[in-house]
Structure 1
Amino acid sequence: MSTDRPSAGGIEISARKIGGIDDTTVSLTPGVTVLAGRNATNRTSFLQSIMAAVGSENASLKGDAEEGSVELRLDGERYTRRLRRTPDGVAFDGDPYLDDPELADLFAFLLESNEARRGVAREENLRELIMRPVDTSEINAEIELLRAERRSVDERLEEIEAERDRLPALERRRSDVETRLEEKRAELAEVEAAIERSDAAGSQERAEAVEESLDALNERRSALKRVQEHVETERDSLETARAELNRRRTELESLPDAPDDRIDALDREISELRERRRRCDAVVNKLQTLVQFNEDALAGDDELADLLAEDEPASDGGTVTDQLVGESNTVCWTCGSEVDRSRIESFLDRLRALAREKRRDRSDIDDQLSAATDERRELKEQRERRENLESRVDALESEVEEREAALERHEAEVEELETAIGELEDEVGELDADDHDETLERHREANSLQFDIGRLTGQLAEVKEELEELEALDAEADRLGERRGEIAEELEELRTRIERLEREAIDGFNDHMDDILSILGYGNIDRIWIERREEEAREGRRTVDRTRFDLHVVRTSDDGTAYEDTIRHLSESEREVTGLVFALAGYLAHEVYETVPFMLLDSLEAIDSARIAALVEYFEDYAPNIVVALLPEDAQALDDDYSRITEI
């Protein structure tokens, strides 16, 4: 895998009062830039300036400065950062390249204090380092929204399926109505023909009187039929509503409660856990900075010694720099007194142990936060389901009451129409009592057939309209089915995002580590690889699955036997390379190259020149812009085509 680089363009960094820098402006070219120089030549300070401009807060002010600034010009855009000394430390403001620098600090800014790089050597929780930038709360919120949408889609699909169950009966009804309609029309044609033949018989006047009464009678019968159909429809709807009401009530009774006080308690717990994690992160960062500062000073960092010596007068005992690099004693850089180096080293060990303890605390907090978030999500889903069911039950109860009232009205209307029809039938009987003429009978028959044809035509139109509505439901069901499939894929993607990132990081580390070991020629190491392992752990009253990253080192003895070693037994060069490859794996798994324009490398002195050159060439395929700080003799081993900067 290789990343696409942005088009070549000017890159310029201006820094003032950052680290050991007074004031400088440096132009870079895309690709690899080598900062070549001895110690105390502001190479690390320049890298910190880049970090600050991108958005990191892992940068320091010059010792004698109250404020400093850095400006980055990249691809025609300008990004600024200002640093101010305050009673609580250094404050940052401005308009940096990134709003959130976490990915960059972890996987792109690979200075000596980089957590991913150091985490391997210190055998820290590698899985926690890889997954730290993943916002599990946001993922859970997205999952909740998708689940709610899926429930809505499922409910609508159930409604559509219930409607579509009526399709066979409707098609049979349409066929029956069409058949009966054809028969009635044929009968009417015969009767009308017979009437035309008998019109000359002299009974037309009486037939017209009877026909008027029959028309009125047929109107009442038509109205009665319509109302009877309404009654039948209302009864069916009432029965359906009652059945669903009983079903929803049963479901509501079986649904567990989601007490608001428990959800409120979880909200408070989650808020407290997030605040504890924030404070823990702040402590870890401060401890890491403190450890790095002390390590640099104890190691005799010339740049730091010069900075401390700026306002220190010379004495018979020599300069502060002389004292800092003494073999057994050194000067305490907080109070200026001379102390035994072993005391400071012992204090550093305590600081490192405290940092490890705080990282473990942070991991425990993350586990508690995940458990509390999961429980809150489940309770909210239960509460939402209960609220939906209660709302549906209320709506169904209202619907049942309305339909019962409507049914009573329709039944009363049926009684009224049946009474009116009886009176009209008596009237027609009186008109027809003295004349049983065949022609009048045919008029009555034709009138009845016309009524039947009108009623059947109306029924056919209703059936066709219902069938058209059902056909439209097919398209809606298809669309909802497609959306449900999309929701399932999105849910699966969200659920597996964490696992996918874990596996991508592990596979990337293992593949790149194999390549690097082959390229750099560490002959006494067969393989260094990470194994992803699931284990059970207790969280309160629950047993949960946790993921671990186990780092394995495989060597071969003189007699050819393979055996497993530990990271502690690797050489400093091998540990540094392993840490850098682990950072690269996180860089690629999180696609940091898409958002961070630089990868920074520093403190590579433990690796020999030839291997540094091979390592930089390997990393070049994956990062758009690499800035690497090297000693002059190490810089000579790198490709002559790389841009070089020797003065800052």
Structure 2
Amino acid sequence: MEHRLDTKQQPIPEEATLEVDNIGGIDETAVSFQQGVTVLSGRNATNRTSLLQAIMAALGSNQVSLKADAAEGSATLEFGDETYRRTLERRNGTIVTDGEPYLEDPELADLFAFLLESNEARQAVARGDDLRELIMRPVDTAAIQSEIEQHEQRKRDLDDQLTQLDNLEGRLPDLEAKRKRVTDEIETLEAELEDAQATLDETNVDVEERREEQSELETKLNAVRDTRAEIERTRNRIETERASIEALEDERDDVQDRLGSLSTGDETEIGRLEAEIETLQTEKADLSEEISQLQSTIQFNEQLLEDPDSFLGDATKADDGPLTDQLLDDSETVTCWTCGSSVARDQIETTIDQLRTARQERLEERSEIGADLDERRETLSTINENRTEYQQTQRRLESIDDEIDRRTDRIEELTEEREELTEEIDALEAEIDDLETEEQSGVLEQHKEVNQLEFKLERKERERDEIEDEIAEIESRLDEREALEARREDVTDELTTLRTRIDQIEADAVDAFNEHMENLLETLRYENLDRIWIDRTTREVREGRRKVSRSSFDLKIVRSTDDGAAYEDTIDHLSESEREVTGLVFALAGYLVHDVYETVPFMLLDSLEAIDAERIAALVEYFESHVPYLVVALLEEDAQAVEGAHGVITDI
């Protein structure tokens, strides 16, 4: 798996200029970098690390220190057509930053681009920390999970719509059969009506003599037909209302079942959760502040070891330089910047190690509190969602009950209306009987038959029209299927991508580390060191009160004896040089997997003294192919081993 710079991204400026004021041990300086490798060459205590911190400050990192005797400082980076400026000010014993740096969020760069000695990726490898947690820290897994849940809901909605279409399609054969049956009945009624009308026309009646009576009979007969039609319409409305009530009662049963499964939540429990969340938030904020203070203290002491002159100022230049001599890297003591007494270097280094251990413990404690906080927020959110859904369901139940009552009242009104219409027909038929004569009786029966046939025909034609409307509606809905299926396929693909995103990042990180580690071990040729790689496994871990399965990155090391026998080793048994290289390769893997070069085109390297000059040169050459701007702080003898065209800065 080869990682190279993306040539399709925005062009990276060929030169960067940095102006520094009161950062680390620097009073004031200005330097320029060309794209590629820039070596900061010099002895110890020559402000090389301070210059790297100044670059970090201008890029946006908070892991920088203000000069001990200064109240404020700044770092300004001119990069292409843009200028980025960062200021530092001492207020009430703390450092406050302001300005507009290159990065809004420096987390990725702090982890995988600013590789000073205290860099967390390098230290994590050396200490045997959780490498998986560090690689995955910049990934917002909660946001990915939320996106997965949203896509799952969309997929369920689309599945429901497609199921509805399948059900509708299944109804088409019955509807078409029903339409054919009704059409046949209409044809039959039309034929019967035509025959009945012909018979009526052929009946031999003296129309002139019976015109007045016939007219009144026709009026009564028309009234009967209209009233019967009204009764039929009323009956249909009653049936419609009853069907609606039946559907509402079924829905009410479902809503009642749903209501029974929901809970409004215990107010006491809600209050407890809110109080616990507030307490945990306070604890997490306090820990974050403590971690920040520990990091500042660590950097301060590291700067004391690296560059004591920046703290003692002109005092080191007095008395022909004896005090300056004792501050060189090969001396056994360092002068305390507060009281002026001599302190053993190893004592300061021991203190730094203790501070790093304390910081790591606070980080782990903050992580556990964060998991507990997320769990309680999730529980409270679930309770609130249930309460909202309970209230909505309760309102729906009340609405259904109101609707059932309204439709029941309507049925009673329609039933009374139907009874009144029936009585009206009875009265009309009695009047018709009074008007009938023996001669007219046949004509009246024929009129009744024609009227009834016309009524039946009208009803059947209406039924046919309703069936055809329903078929047309279903066919129109079925036209949506192709688009719905395409959307469902897209959502399914997106779900697959989301579900594998975290797994893919982990796999890419492991592959990147293993590939680059193999390449560098082959180039650096450490004696008896055959292979270093990460083995990705799964194990159960606690998150808050729950146990979940999570990937684990296990660092594996294989050595061989003089006679060629291979055996497994641990990180503790690696030489300091081997550990440093392993930590740097792990940081490079994170840099490439998270495309950090697209966020910030700089990588800074420091504290490589544990690696011999020849291997440093090979390491720089390897990293150069993956980083636009590589700035490396080296001792003079190590800098001379770096070959090729590159910038060199000796005067800071």
TM-score range, shorter chain: 0.7 to 0.9
1:207-265 CA-to-partner distances (Å, cap 9, x unmatched) read 55433333222222222222212221221221121122112212332346643543454
Tell me, in whole angstroms, the C-alpha distance in 1 between the residues paired with 2:143 and 2:270: 18
> Which residue of 1 is the match for residue 28 of structure 2?
23
Q: Does 1:463 align with 2:470?
A: no
Tell me, in whole angstroms, the C-alpha distance in 1 between the residues paired with 2:574 and 2:272: 48
1:473-521 CA-to-partner distances (Å, cap 9, x unmatched) read 4456666666566556555655554444333322322222222222322
Query: Does the 8 Å contact 2:375/2:544 carry over to 1?
Result: no
Report the identity percentage: 45
**Offset at residue 115 of structure 1 (A):** 0.7
Distance 1:165 1:460, change over 3 A: same
Query: Does the 8 Å contact 1:44/1:602 carry over to 2?
Result: yes
Distance 1:291 1:623, change over 3 A: same
**Offset at residue 100 of structure 1 (A):** 1.3
2:103 corresponds, among 82, 86, 98, to 98
Query: Does the 8 Å contact 2:25/2:309 carry over to 1?
Result: no
> Which residue of 1 is the match for residue 136 of structure 2?
131
Distance 1:526 1:88, change over 3 A: same
Tell me, in whole angstroms, the C-alpha distance in 2 between the residues paired with 1:117 and 1:469: 67
Tell me, in whole angstroms, the C-alpha distance in 1 between the residues paired with 2:635 and 2:537: 41
1:535 corresponds, among 517, 532, 539, to 539
> Which residue of 1 is the match for residue 185 of structure 2?
180
Query: Does the 8 Å contact 2:63/2:299 carry over to 1?
Result: no
Tell me, in whole angstroms, the C-alpha distance in 1 between the residues paired with 2:384 and 2:147: 14
**Offset at residue 2 of structure 1 (A):** 1.8
Distance 1:342 1:68, change over 3 A: closer
1:89 corresponds, among 87, 94, 97, to 94
Query: Does the 8 Å contact 2:229/2:455 carry over to 1?
Result: yes
Q: Does 1:13 align with 2:18?
A: yes
TM-score (norm 2): 0.87
Matches within 5 A, 1:222-621: 222-255=229-262, 258-298=265-305, 301=306, 303-311=307-315, 314=318, 318-319=322-323, 322-323=326-327, 327-376=331-380, 378-380=382-384, 382-436=386-440, 441-474=445-478, 490=494, 493-494=497-498, 496-537=500-541, 542-621=546-625
Distance 1:640 1:452, change over 3 A: same
**Offset at residue 421 of structure 1 (A):** 2.5
Query: Does the 8 Å contact 2:41/2:650 carry over to 1?
Result: yes
Give the residue type in structure 2 aligned to 1:238.
Answer: I
1:183-206 CA-to-partner distances (Å, cap 9, x unmatched) read 222333344445555588637835
Query: Does the 8 Å contact 1:107/1:592 carry over to 2?
Result: yes
Distance 1:374 1:552, change over 3 A: farther
Query: Does the 8 Å contact 2:309/2:316 carry over to 1?
Result: no
TM-score (norm 1): 0.88
Distance 1:324 1:515, change over 3 A: closer
Query: Does the 8 Å contact 2:536/2:552 carry over to 1?
Result: yes
Give the residue type in structure 1 aligned to 2:138.
Answer: P
When structure 1 is superposed on structure 2, of 217-226 and 321-330 the one drifting more is 321-330
1:58 corresponds, among 60, 63, 77, to 63
Distance 1:373 1:439, change over 3 A: same
Give the residue type in structure 2 aligned to 1:400.
Answer: I
SS of the residue 1:333 aligns to: coil
Matches within 5 A, 1:189-228: 189-195=194-200, 202=207, 205=211, 207-228=214-235
When structure 1 is superposed on structure 2, of 50-59 and 490-499 the one drifting more is 490-499
SS of the residue 1:558 aligns to: coil
**Offset at residue 361 of structure 1 (A):** 1.7
SS of the residue 2:68 aligns to: coil
Give the residue type in structure 1 aligned to 2:341.
Answer: S
Distance 1:240 1:568, change over 3 A: same
Tell me, in whole angstroms, the C-alpha distance in 2 between the residues paired with 1:465 and 1:167: 12
Distance 1:50 1:342, change over 3 A: closer
Tell me, in whole angstroms, the C-alpha distance in 1 between the residues paired with 2:142 and 2:544: 20
1:114 corresponds, among 104, 109, 119, to 119
Distance 1:62 1:457, change over 3 A: same
1:73 corresponds, among 70, 78, 84, to 78
Distance 1:293 1:63, change over 3 A: closer
**Offset at residue 387 of structure 1 (A):** 4.1
> Which residue of 2 is the match for residue 2 of structure 1?
4
Query: Does the 8 Å contact 2:44/2:329 carry over to 1?
Result: no
Query: Does the 8 Å contact 1:14/1:24 carry over to 2?
Result: yes
> Which residue of 2 is the match for residue 47 of structure 1?
52
1:536-579 CA-to-partner distances (Å, cap 9, x unmatched) read 34567644434433222111222332211111211222111111
**Offset at residue 106 of structure 1 (A):** 0.8
Query: Does the 8 Å contact 2:63/2:295 carry over to 1?
Result: no
Query: Does the 8 Å contact 1:70/1:82 carry over to 2?
Result: yes
Tell me, in whole angstroms, the C-alpha distance in 2 between the residues paired with 1:363 and 1:631: 38
SS of the residue 1:450 aligns to: helix
1:608-644 CA-to-partner distances (Å, cap 9, x unmatched) read 3343333333333433433333344434444534444
**Offset at residue 396 of structure 1 (A):** 2.5
**Offset at residue 418 of structure 1 (A):** 2.1
1:440-489 CA-to-partner distances (Å, cap 9, x unmatched) read 54444333333222222222222222333333444566666665665565
SS of the residue 1:7 aligns to: coil
Give the residue type in structure 2 aligned to 1:46.
Answer: L
Tell me, in whole angstroms, the C-alpha distance in 2 between the residues paired with 1:270 and 1:502: 31
**Offset at residue 411 of structure 1 (A):** 2.3
1:80-103 CA-to-partner distances (Å, cap 9, x unmatched) read 221111113211111122221111
Distance 1:342 1:115, change over 3 A: closer
When structure 1 is superposed on structure 2, of 275-284 and 554-563 the one drifting more is 275-284
RMSD over aligned Cα, in angstroms?
A: 3.5
Structure 1 portions without partners, runs of 5+: none
SS of the residue 1:397 aligns to: helix
Tell me, in whole angstroms, the C-alpha distance in 2 between the residues paired with 1:135 and 1:18: 33
Give the residue type in structure 1 aligned to 2:125.
Answer: V
Distance 1:482 1:380, change over 3 A: farther
Query: Does the 8 Å contact 2:65/2:300 carry over to 1?
Result: no
Tell me, in whole angstroms, the C-alpha distance in 1 between the residues paired with 2:381 and 2:296: 37
Structure 2 portions without partners, runs of 5+: none
Tell me, in whole angstroms, the C-alpha distance in 2 between the residues paired with 1:260 and 1:165: 49
1:87-144 CA-to-partner distances (Å, cap 9, x unmatched) read 1321111112222111111111112211111111122222232232233444455456
Distance 1:172 1:494, change over 3 A: same
Tell me, in whole angstroms, the C-alpha distance in 1 between the residues paired with 2:84 and 2:437: 107
Query: Does the 8 Å contact 2:179/2:468 carry over to 1?
Result: yes
Query: Does the 8 Å contact 2:121/2:587 carry over to 1?
Result: yes
Give the residue type in structure 2 aligned to 1:532.
Answer: R
Tell me, in whole angstroms, the C-alpha distance in 2 between the residues paired with 1:169 and 1:260: 54
